[in-house]
Structures are given as structure tokens and as C-alpha cells.
Amino acid sequence: MVDNLHIVYRLRGGGPGKAKGAKGKAALREQALAAKEQQDQEPQQDRGGRASRAVRRLTGRSEQAKKGGRKVHAIRGVSFTAYRGEAIGVIGSNGSGKSTILRAIAGLMPPEAGRVYTEGQPSLLGVNAALMNDLSGERNVILGCLAMGMTPQEAYAKREEIIRFSGINEKGDFSSLPMRAYSSGMAARLRFAIASAKNHDVLMIDEALATGDRKFRRRSEERIRELRGEAGTVFLVSHSNKSIRDTCDRVLWLETGSLVMDGPTEEVLEAYEEFMNG
Ligand SMILES: Nc1ncnc2c1ncn2[C@@H]1O[C@H](COP(=O)(O)OP(=O)(O)OP(=O)(O)O)[C@@H](O)[C@H]1O
């Protein structure tokens, strides 16, 4: 359940730094020596405070930096409830907040206000999901499975099936090659194959199908339907209305971070298509 969620990105840096002005290196060195001298005279516990203040200054996490930085209010008061067994499409024009809301549901973005309540563990499968470029596809399959909580035995037992599903070996023995030799579509297929090898409580897929070819898209859409059948909830972010139509029975439409519509796929897509063509 997503309850009146607000997500704000804060941009630090990029602003004008403190000019050194006419002080020069000698004056700065003098200032540093004076600070050191003062520190040597301070009791131990004060030094801890000074150190953490210095770290906050360096990482820009001071209250001042918070207030002074630029903000992007990416999600503005979105609320909805998702149920087990639903496949929910998330649509909207570029920058409308689709990826951000998935990241928030996955617990990767702290809410500015509002809450996300989930039953079970949400897993986010994005086109940028981390796989190691220098390792072979096979190695990445094992790593991915272990990262999803499988035992080594389970991971090895699933390896063949995952590689077969991904189809990366259809044009040669690619699974033994380092991932950097893969096209973006092949890498996306492997990521999807790994993530979908496990039954997820909440699986979120961010454009992962967009880079696959038609044959793979059909196969992965079929797999999404199976995952739903296995009682999970699937969220699919896509700019392909066809993928959404073929996979989802409910659609959330976001624009500039607000929920424009939440309803049955056909109803929402019709309104969205009219908006985009209008
Ligand atoms: N790391 C970031 N730092 C600052 N602002 C960000 C960051 N990521 C996204 N945004 C901003 O948040 C808003 C929502 O972005 P988001 O990526 O969620 O949109 P989207 O609907 O997924 O876009 P697209 O369809 O282009 O992938 C945009 O205004 C974007 O500029």
C-alpha cells in the first residue's frame, strides 16, 4: 500500500563554492594550524563532535546544505493499494516519476512524506540492475541467484534453465563470455531471466522488456503472467502500450509525479493515448 507518498530528490553541489579569495595558501595553512592547536586543547568528547561536524560538512549533509540545495519533487502525494496476483502497469510521459515510485516501493528512496507498506520482500528489476561486466553470463547467473537468497545448490540447479530462458546461447556459446561482450538486449534478457527464476512477493520490472526482441518479449510476458499466478504482485514500467496491454490488468498513470488515473488497463490506456495524441 502506498499512502500519500512524496519523494524529493535533493541536488547537492554545483552551486558556487566558498571562494578562497585573497587568502592564499599561506593564510589557509595558518588557519589549519590554529584549528589543530585548538583541537589539541579540547577534551576528547568535543573532538568527536568536531569530527562528525567536519564529516557532515564534507559530505554536504549539514542542515544548511539541506536547505540550500536544489530539489526535485518527483512524487507528489500518490496513494494506491496493490493486491496479490495483480499485474500493474505504470505509465506516463518521460520524467513523470515511474522509475522513482518503483525505487520507493523497493525501499531505495526515503519518502519525504507518506508511507509505503509491503507484505513480503519487494524486488526491483531494472535495466541497470547490477551484473558484473567482467564475469561470464553463467557466473552472473550464479551470483544473481545467490543475491536473491538461493542456496548454492539451488543456484547451480537453476543455472541451465535461466540461460535457456534468456536465449543468450541461441547464436553461439555466449553464456561463457564476459557480459561486456553482450548487446544491451542480451544483457536485459539475462537480467530478466535471473530475476524471474524466483517467485517474488512483489516484483517490479522497469523497462526490462523494452530491449528484448519480439520473441523474447512474448516469452517474458508469459513468465510475468506465471509470476502473478504464483500469488505475487508484479509492477511493470513500460513505454510500450502493447506490453502493458498484454501483461497487465490494471494501470497507474503518472504525470509530473501525481497519479492521474488508476483503473482497468483498457480504460486508462485509452485516456493516456488520447492525452499523448492530443
Ligand atoms: N537522481 C536524481 N536526481 C535528481 N532528480 C532526479 C533523479 N532521478 C530522477 N529525477 C527527477 O525525478 C523526476 C522523475 O524521474 P523518473 O526517472 O522517476 O521518471 P520516469 O517517469 O521514470 O521517466 P522516463 O520515462 O524518462 O524513464 C524527473 O523530474 C527527474 O528529472
Ligand 1 pocket check for 98: Cβ under 6 Å = yes
Q: Cα of 50 to ligand 1 centre, how many Å?
A: 36
SS3 call for 197: coil
Q: What CATH number should be reported for the domain holding residue 157?
A: 3.40.50.300
Q: What domain range is 117 assigned to?
A: 82-277
In this predicted structure, what is the pLDDT of residue 186? 84
In a domain? residue 66? no
In a domain? residue 62? no
Ligand 1 pocket check for 11: Cβ under 6 Å = yes
In a domain? residue 134? yes
In this predicted structure, what is the pLDDT of residue 47? 46
In a domain? residue 18? no
Count of other CB atoms within 10 angstroms of residue 178: 15
Q: For residues 7 and 109, is the Cβ–Cβ distance under 8 A? A: yes
Residue 208's nearest CA partner among 228, 223, 230, 226 is: 223
Ligand 1 pocket check for 238: Cβ under 6 Å = no
Atom 2 of ligand 1: nearest residue by CA position = 9
**Total number of domains in the chain:** 1
In a domain? residue 45? no
Ligand 1 pocket check for 94: Cβ under 6 Å = yes
In the predicted model, residues of the chain with pLDDT beneath 70 are 13-68, 126-130, 208-212, 231
Q: What are the E-state strand segments in the chain?
A: 2-11, 70-80, 87-91, 113-116, 122-126, 202-206, 233-237, 250-255, 258-264
In a domain? residue 191? yes
Ligand 1 pocket check for 69: Cβ under 6 Å = no
In a domain? residue 129? yes
In this predicted structure, what is the pLDDT of residue 133? 86
Q: Quote ipTM for the complex.
A: 0.97
**Ligand 1 pocket mutation, candidates 100, 238, 276, criterion most atoms within 8 A of CB:** 100
In this predicted structure, what is the pLDDT of residue 48? 47
In a domain? residue 76? no
How far apart CA 38 and CA 42 sit, in angstroms, is 7
